[in-house]
Amino acid sequence: MDIISEIERERMNELLQAGKRIDGRGFDDLRPIKIVPNIVSKAEGSAEAWLGETRVITGMKVSIGQPFPDTPNEGVVVTSAELSPIGSPSFELGPPGEQAIELARVVDRGIRHSNFIQRTKLCIAEGTHVYLLFLDIYILADHGNLIDASHLSAVATLMTSQLPKVEVDEEGNATILEEFMPLEMEAPPIALTFAKINDSIVVDPISTEELVMSTRLSITIDGDDTICSMQKSGSGTLTRQEILDCVERACQIVKKARSVLPKR
């Protein structure tokens, strides 16, 4: 049942006024992050990410295909997310809904607009052969903040993935070889999501906080400390000052998050 009891709402407000959160964290504290890479041997890359109790797995499959006509020398990365019912009693079967689509798109944009993976590095033969990377995100347990957890597992998947080498002969036939190579990449981007509850703004909201938040702001910070994507959602509003404050806080928090990603 997605109705929060009035008692819990009041208690959370009281705590926030006193500068505390319902699970004892400070406003800028992330839950503990744990990454388990290479969990699926049939995938070219995979990783499980834990953000507190929120748990997400991502797997990557690779195929060879044609580039889009307007970007003949760039590979393609397709990100999708499945909110399967194994992750929460409120997820339902069926084609991806609004939430799953937004989730996949926010993760996708955070990676796309960063310097993390250069798409030109995914080109095999200009105009004819490029790598197609399919990143599929599955939520195993939703305890809040799916965006940051999904982003972490997607980034960790790319960081530990292996691409099959490909040979293209003169007639333009591609052969996938048995050899593998790691992806070339820069420092990874990190997504950080803030929730606004009354006048308080906290990072990495848990489910109960999400039920009472009016607005959510996700900010992706690239490896060079620039902002590479943002997404505001929810029916509330933010002031300019609040937005800038969140960005400032994100730049501080991101340092902690980076230290737990797998080393390359």
Partner 1 sequence: MTTLVKPQDLVVPGQLLAKGDYRCGDGTYKEQQEIFASVVGIAKVKGNLIFVVALQGRYNPKPRDIVIGTIIEITMNGWLVDINSAYPAMLTVMHALSRRDASRANDDLQRWYDVGDTVIAEIVAADRTRDPLLTTRGRGLGKCRGGVLIEITPTRVPRLIGRKGSMISMLKSELNCEIVVGQNGIIWLKGDPDHVVIAIEAIRQIEREAHTSGLTDRVREVIIMKLSDKRR
Partner 2 sequence: MTDSLEKEKLFDEKGLRLDGRRVDELRPLKLEIGTLSRADGSAYIEHGRNKILAAVYGPRELHPRHRAIADRALLRVTYRMGTFSVGERKRPAPSRREHEISMVIRQALEPMLFLEMYPRAAIDVFIQVVEADGGSRCASTTVASIALANAGIPMRSIVTGVAVGKADGQLVVDLSDLEDKIGDADVPVAMAYGRNEYTLLQMDGKLSKEELAKALEMVEGAIETIYEKQQQVLREGFIQIREEISESEEPSSDEGDVPDTEIDETDMESADGD
- Which range of residues in 9-17, 44-52, 87-95, 126-134 is near partner 1 by CB under 8 A? 9-17
Is 6 near partner 1 (CB under 8 A)? yes
Strands 200-203 and 123-125: unpaired
Instruction: Answer positive or negative: Cα dihedral of 239, 242, 247, 248.
Output: positive
Q: Quick check: 9 binds partner 1 (CB under 8 A)?
A: yes
- Please give the Cα distance from 71 to 149 (Å, whole number): 30
Residue numbers at the binding site for partner 2 (CB under 8 A): 39-43, 46, 53, 55, 57, 59-61, 63, 80, 82, 84-89, 93, 95, 134, 136, 138, 140-143
**Residue 126 touches partner 1, criterion: CB under 8 A:** no
- Closest CB to partner 1 among 7 and 93? 7
The one of partner 2, partner 1, none whose footprint includes residue 264, by CB under 5 to 8 A per kind, is none
- The partner in contact with residue 82, picked from partner 2, partner 1, none with C-beta cut-offs of 5 to 8 angstroms by kind, is partner 2
Q: Which does 63 bind (CB under 5 to 8 A by kind): partner 2, partner 1, none?
A: partner 2
The candidate with the shortest Cα–Cα distance to 162, out of 140, 141, 177, is: 177
Give dist(CA 30, CA 202) in Å, integer.
10
Give the E-state strand segments of the chain in sequence order.
Answer: 33-37, 45-51, 54-65, 76-82, 123-125, 129-141, 162-168, 174-182, 190-197, 200-203, 215-221, 227-233
Q: How far is the CB of 250 from partner 2 (least distance, A)?
A: 27
CA angle 73, 74, 78 (to 5 degrees): 155
Closest approach of Cβ 97 to partner 1, in Å? Answer: 22
- Work out whether 11 is an interface residue with partner 1 (CB under 8 A): yes
CB contact at 8 A, 147 and 153 = no
Least spacing, CB of residue 217 vs partner 1, in Å: 26
What residue ranges bind partner 1 (CB under 8 A)? 1, 3-11
